[in-house]
Amino acid sequence: MQHRSPEARVGLRLPDGRGGGGAMAPGLGGWSQPGRGRGASRFPVDHEINSKIYLWRGHPWSLEVDAVVNSTNENLDEAHSSPGLHAATGTGLAEECATLGGCRTGMAKMTNAYDLPARKVIHTVGPKYAVKYHTAAENALSHCYRSCLELLIENGLESIATGCIYTEAKNYPREPAAHVAIRTVRRFLEKQKDKITAIVFCTISSSDTEIYKRLLPLYFPRDKQEEEIAALKLPADVGDENANSKTPIPTLADIPLPDSRLTRRRILISDIKEQWEKSAQANKGLNLANMLGFGDLGSPPLSAAEEYSLHSRYLAKANSMNLSDVAEMKIIYRGGVDSEGRPVMVVVGAHFLLRCLDLERFVLYVVKEFEPLIQKPYTIVYFHSAASLQPQPDLGFMKRLQQILGRKHKKNLHTIYILHPTLGLRTAVMVMQLFVDGEVWKKVVYVDRLVQLFRYVPREQLTIPDFVFQHDLEVNGGKGIIVDPRTKHVYQRPSG
C-alpha cells in the first residue's frame, strides 16, 4: 500500500526542535516565565511524535491523505455532515452511508471517499454538551478521536485529516474541546506512533486556528523550555493514559442514602423513574440516556428483516469459529431448568467486567450459546455479585446485543432474575426500560438473597461461583441460609 503524504499541502507543522517553528510562536506570548512553580512534565518532548502532527487551515476534503473525518449525527445523513463533504464526494457517499445502520455517539464507521483525493472517509458522532455532564461529554469526545484513529490502523491506513468533531450545533465550548482533541491524539501516538505517519488538524475559522496554535505546544512541546512552560499551563485534569477525564462521572449510585433499607431505595428509584419518564416525553429528540452517562442509546431501530439478517450473519460466523477461549472465561454458561422446567442461562457480571477483553468474540459466543435456548421459553439468571465496583457496560452495547440476538430472544425470554442488584444497576435497567426496550427489560425480577433465587431456580440446577456465596454472606449476614463451603450446599437456617 502506497502512503500519500499531506506534507506538501500542510500550512503548519510542529518541527523536530526549535528550527522552523516560527508558525507556532504566537502561542507563546502570554505564557509565564518558566522556572517558578515548575511541575513534572506530563507530556515530554518527543521529536518522533511531533514530526507526525500538522495544522491545516481549511477543509480536510482537499488533502491527499489516507482518510478524512466527517463529524455527523447518529443517522449519518447529509444534512448533519461536515460542510462541503457530500458536495466534494458526489452522490455515492450518501448512498453508502444509508446502508450502514447509523452510528453511535463516540464511535466511528468507514466508507469509500469517492471523488475525494483521500482513500476513505471515517464518520463519527460527537456528543451534545451540557455543563452538568461535562465529564461524560469529554470522554465521549475523546472516544470519537480514538475510534477514528483505531479504525485507521485496523484498515492498514497511516495518515488522517480531521476537522473539529465538536460542532457548534452541539454547544461544545471550543477551547476545552480542543484540549480533549489534542491530548487524545498525543496519548494515542504515544502507543501507536509506529503505525501512523501523519495526523492533520484542520480548522476553518481564525479563532479555532489560534486556539490550536496556542494549545499544540502544551501537548507537543518542541524543546525543554516549552515542556517546562506546559507544566505550568496545562489543565489539572489532562486525563488518563487514554486521555479520558479522571473526574468521576456522577451517577445515581452516588446519591447518599441516609437509610439503606430496601424499601427506602425502592421509593427513591420510583421517584426518579417518574421524573425520567416525564423528561423522556418532554425531550423526545434528546438522547437523555447518553447525557446521564449510560452511553448513546439513540441508534436507529432495525426492521424485522434487518434483525433477522444481522442475527444470521453473526450466527454463521460464530459457528465457523473456535470460541473455546471465551467459554473458559465462564461469563455465560448453561444452567439446568427453573422451577417450571424452562432452560436457564447463567450470566456472571464480575467475570464479564474482569475477563472480557475481546468484545466481538464475546458477542459471537453469546449468539452461539443462546441459539438453542431462544427457540422456546427460557430464563436468564444474572449474578451481579461483586460487580458493582467495576465500570458498567455501555448500555448502547446492550441494545446492539439485543438486536443481534433477534426477535425470538425477545419473544421467548420469560424472566431475567438479577441477584444482588445495586442502585446503579437498577438505574441502568430503568434506562433500558425507558429508552431501549420495555418489553424485555420489564421482565426483570430483582433478588436480594440466594435463598430467594432458589424459589425460582432450584439450587441443584445452578453452578454458582464461590465469590457469589461469599458476597451473599457479606451483604445479608447469612440471613435465612447456611452455606456448606465444601459442597456449596445451602440449608435453611433454623428459626428460634
**Domain count across the chain:** 2
Pair (12, 108) in one structural domain: yes
344: left (phi over 0), alpha (psi -120 to 50) or beta: beta
CA–CA dist 480, 29 (Å, integer): 71
Q: What angle do CA 212, 114, 71 make, to 5 degrees?
A: 35
Task: Give the whole-angstrom CA distance, residue 310 versus residue 306.
Answer: 6
CA dist., res. 237 & res. 123, Å (int): 28
Cell matching residue 32: 509565564
Do 271 and 188 belong together in one domain?
A: no
Using an 8 Å Cβ cutoff, are 109 and 76 in contact?
A: yes
- Residue ending a domain, among 204, 233, 262, is 233
Same domain, 274 and 227: no
Residues 51 and 88 in one domain: yes
Residue 429, in any domain of the structure: yes
Residue 147 lies in a domain: yes
Question: Which residues share a beta bridge with 418?
Answer: 382, 446
- Residues 187 and 281 grouped into a single domain: no
Question: What would the grid cell of residue 367 be?
Answer: 449468539
Domain endpoint, select from 170, 205, 233:
233
165: containing domain: 7-233
* 284 in the same domain as 194: no
User: Taking the CA atoms of the chain, what radius of gyration do you get in angstroms?
Assistant: 26
Identify whether residues 18 and 52 lie together within a single domain.
yes
The enclosing domain of 269 has a CATH number of 3.40.525.10
Residue by residue, pLDDT tens for the chain (496 residues) are 333 334 433 333 433 333 333 333 333 222 223 333 345 678 999 999 999 999 999 999 999 999 999 999 988 989 889 989 999 998 899 999 999 888 888 889 999 999 999 999 999 999 888 887 788 788 889 989 999 999 999 999 999 999 999 887 788 999 999 999 999 999 999 999 999 999 999 999 999 999 999 999 999 999 998 988 888 888 777 766 666 655 544 433 333 333 444 444 444 444 444 544 444 444 443 344 444 444 445 456 778 888 888 889 999 999 999 999 899 889 999 999 999 999 999 999 888 877 777 888 999 999 999 999 999 999 999 999 877 544 455 666 777 888 888 888 889 999 999 999 988 888 888 877 876 677 888 899 999 999 999 999 999 999 998 888 888 888 876 554 545 544 445 555 444 4
